[in-house]
Structure 1
Amino acid sequence: MYSAAELTSMFHKNRIEEKLTASLGKKVSLIETSIQNLKSTKRSSIYQLDLQTHNRTFPIIFKIYHSTKYKNEIEINIYSRAYPFLKEFLPNIYLVEKHGSDTWVFMEFVRQIRGQLTFTPDHFDLIIPALAKLHAHTYEEKFRRESAVLQPWFPMYDSPEMRKDREKFMSNTLTMLTKAKKEKQWKDVIKPHYKSLKNMYKQGPDFFPELLESGFSITHGDLHMQNICSKDVQKPTAWPIQFIDWESAKFAPSWFDMIVMVEILIAFRKDWQNDADNIRTRVVDVYTKEMKKHGIEFQTPPMKLYKMAYLQRTLEKGLHTQLRRILENRGGELLPYHLEKIAAWGKELGIYK
């Protein structure tokens, strides 16, 4: 993490004010006293600072991606190489520069949904249109037409490399499941499902051909409310949405984003769970209708695709995350929810026996 004085010196040395002025098309100056660190990790550092024009002051975000070894390239490429294609769904990107092994990105400050209001299931209706538009904009051939820009760096879910990654993750999940089953606190939770899970994983890494055939698009991969932003959450109709933090993006079945945005939130929100079936029915209906507006209709029943996407993603990633947290003594509170849904929907869809 850099101090405000260090950042100011770096900005002057690299003529950042001049470059931002050229990018924005109007004279701007950095207000040095406004610099504040929002977050710093080994992967990246995020700062907020203010720009001054002749008649107003406004905040921007400055993000430093530390070194290529931290797998930042997907997000960096989205903000630089894919920006013209995805501009509608991103904050405005003002400047991207390489500095040694680091990459600097200056972008528009956009407010996260989280913190702006008390989120209810009704609010999904106002987000889903933008998500469906992203998926439709990048659906199948529309993505492939941009191959000169997006390949070979964009992760492809159906590639041999990603299939191998899923196999590795699932193998590690089984190992962790065996270890966690010996933990006194989790033994009774895991034991009833252990044999069925072992048998299910033998069928992997891809459990549902219908899901793979339902259509691929660019998926964000991590759509919780801190990564969904809007400039106007007071609108009674579809909100203007910008998505941030794209490091998990891939070309994959579009339903995966719905699972992260909706089902994982239901899992955390115990106060929603008595009404969970109604919430799912509503969001699946809204998403299906929005996709149809863009000319995309699903051949498999949409609720079935939703459940398939949940099972696929949970078996390849969700269980792994919760088991790792358990073995590292960092929680694992979603494990019972995942196991319950795997059993119920797995039986319904014929993979849990």
Structure 2
Amino acid sequence: MYTPQELISMFHKHGIEEKLSTSLGSKVTIQASSIQNLKSTKRSSIYQLQLQKHTDTFPIIFKIYHSTKYKNEVEINVYSQAYPFLKEFLPEIYLMEKQGSDTWVFMEFVRQIRGQLTFTPKHFDYIIPTLAKLHAHTHEENFKKEKKTFQHWFPIYNSVKMKNDREKFISNTMTFLDDAKKDKQLKDIIKPHYKPLKNLYSNGPDFFPELLNSGYSITHGDLHMQNICSKDVSKNEPWAIQFIDWESAKFAPTWFDMIVLVEILLGFRKDWQSNAEEIRTHAVDVYTNEMKKYGIEFKTKPIHLYKMAYLQRTLEKGLHTQLRRIFDNRGGELLPYHLEKISTWGSELGIYK
């Protein structure tokens, strides 16, 4: 993390004001006193800065991706190589450049939905249309036409590499389950599910051929409210949305995005759970109808695809995450929710016996 003074001197050294002025088509200056650090991790640092243009000032985001060893390549390439193809779903990128092993990005300031309003289930209706538009825009042949843009760096869910990754995760999850069975705190929660899960996992890493055949698109992969942005959430109609934090993006079955957006949030929102069936059914209907507008229809019943996507994601990753968090003393509150859904939906769909 740099101090504002250090950043200003780096900006001067690299002629950043001049480059931003060229990009924005008008002279801008960075207000040194406005620089604030929003977040810093090993992977990246994010700052907000004010630019002055004539008599106006406006905020922008400056993000430093620290060396590529921190798995930043996908997001960096989405913002650089894939920007022309995806730009209606992204913040505007003003300037990108390499500085040693770091990558600098100056981009439009977009407001996260989280914090702008009290989120209720009806608000899914205002987000899902943009998600469906992203999936339709990048669906199957549309993505394949852009092969040159994405080859060599974009993760493909049915690739050998990603299948091997799933097998590794599952193997680690099985080890966690063995440990959990012996753990004082966890053994009573795990015991009823232990045998069915072991049997189920022996048929992995892919549990539903119908899901794999239901159509692939670019999925964002991490659609929590802090990664969904909009300038205006005051209207009761679909919002103009930009998505940020693309490091989990991949070419995958489209339904995975609906799971993070809807079902994982349902898992956390105890106050919604008495209406959970109604909320998820409505969200699935909205998504299915939006996709239909682009000529995309699903052969398998959409609510089944939704449940399959939830089970696939939870079995390959969700359980692993919750158990690891518990063993690291960092929460894991979704574990009972995941186990209950694996047993009920898994039984309904014939994989949990």
Query: What TM-score, normalized by structure 2, do the two folds share?
Result: 0.99
SS at match of 1:181: helix
Residue type of the alignment partner of 1:154: F
Matched, 1:254 2:292: no
Structure 1 partner of 2:156: 156
Q: Give the unaligned 5+ runs of structure 2.
A: none
Map 1:164-203 to 2 at 5 A: 164-203=164-203
Q: Give the unaligned 5+ runs of structure 1.
A: none
Provide the C-alpha distance between the structure 2 equivalents of 1:181 and 1:323, rounded to a whole number of angstroms: 11
Provide the C-alpha distance between the structure 1 equivalents of 2:45 and 2:157, rounded to a whole number of angstroms: 29
Residue type of the alignment partner of 2:18: E
Shift in Å, 1:237 = 1.0
Shift in Å, 1:55 = 2.8
Matched, 1:124 2:124: yes
Structure 1 partner of 2:346: 346
Shift in Å, 1:187 = 1.0
Structure 1 partner of 2:330: 330
Structure 2 partner of 1:105: 105
Shift in Å, 1:185 = 1.4
Structure 2 partner of 1:81: 81
Shift in Å, 1:91 = 0.3
Map 1:236-255 to 2 at 5 A: 236-255=236-255
Provide the C-alpha distance between the structure 2 equivalents of 1:111 and 1:28, rounded to a whole number of angstroms: 22
Shift in Å, 1:177 = 1.2
Structure 2 partner of 1:24: 24
Deviations 1:226-262 (Å, cap 9, x if unpaired)?
A: 0000011012210000000000000000000000010
Structure 1 partner of 2:268: 268
Residue type of the alignment partner of 2:202: K
Structure 1 partner of 2:2: 2
Provide the C-alpha distance between the structure 2 equivalents of 1:11 and 1:247, rounded to a whole number of angstroms: 26
Shift in Å, 1:183 = 1.7
Instruction: Give the % identical residues.
Output: 77
Structure 2 partner of 1:310: 310
Map 1:129-140 to 2 at 5 A: 129-140=129-140
Shift in Å, 1:270 = 0.3
Residue type of the alignment partner of 1:337: Y
Q: Post-superposition, which runs of at least 4 consecutive aligned residues in structure 1 deviate over 3 A?
A: none
Residue type of the alignment partner of 1:16: I
SS at match of 1:226: helix
Structure 1 partner of 2:14: 14
Provide the C-alpha distance between the structure 1 equivalents of 2:107 and 2:173, rounded to a whole number of angstroms: 38
Provide the C-alpha distance between the structure 2 equivalents of 1:184 and 1:276, rounded to a whole number of angstroms: 31
Provide the C-alpha distance between the structure 2 equivalents of 1:330 and 1:114, rounded to a whole number of angstroms: 22
Provide the C-alpha distance between the structure 1 equivalents of 2:76 and 2:42, rounded to a whole number of angstroms: 16
Residue type of the alignment partner of 2:261: M
Residue type of the alignment partner of 1:281: T
Query: What TM-score, normalized by structure 1, do the two folds share?
Result: 0.99
Residue type of the alignment partner of 1:106: F
Provide the C-alpha distance between the structure 2 equivalents of 1:276 and 1:231, rounded to a whole number of angstroms: 29
Shift in Å, 1:161 = 0.3
Structure 1 partner of 2:55: 55
Structure 1 partner of 2:320: 320
Residue type of the alignment partner of 1:33: S
Whether contact under 8 Å (1:180, 1:326) holds in the other structure is: no
Map 1:195-214 to 2 at 5 A: 195-214=195-214
